[in-house]
Amino acid sequence: MKRNVAIVLAVVAGGALFVGLVYAVLVVGRVSEPAATTVYGLTPRRLWATSVAVLSLIGVGIGGLALARVSTASGPLGASLALGFGLIGAINGALNVAIARGGPGTGNGVVGGAAAFVLGLIAVAVGGLALARSRRTA
């Protein structure tokens, strides 16, 4: 019972930290104010931000598997994939936030871009740890 509560608290704390970091990226990019009129639907910028955020999330997953050494993605290949996906995600997320002209609701994909940036940095960190671990054991 205590372990389940600890896991739930860790997930909630991790989610809160992720949301806080995404908001911090929006504030630093000066796009944290919501739009006066909201654009609904999928715009090209939202599609770009969403696809890059998914790519970054895949990088985090591959890096986690490589770090835990539980799949065929372990070792230098998985770590390199995580580093590559994370780097692509972080650069594209930062670029999306940098060229945005408005905040959330404008159709620019700033929330997805900020999420991609944060997830990309996490993927780079996890991939770097996995790569260092695989080189140390080799």
Q: How far apart are CA 41 and CA 124, in angstroms?
A: 31
Q: How far apart are CA 16 and CA 18, in angstroms?
A: 5
The whole model's pTM is what?
0.89
Q: Which residue has the tokens 């910028």?
A: 45
Q: Is 13 exposed, middle or buried (0-12, 13-18, 19+ CB in 10 A)?
A: exposed
Neighbours of 84 (CB within 10 A): 16
User: How high is the mean pLDDT of the chain?
Assistant: 90
Domain that holds residue 22: 2-137
Checking if the pLDDT of 23 tops 70, the result is: yes
Structurally, how many domains does the chain consist of? 1
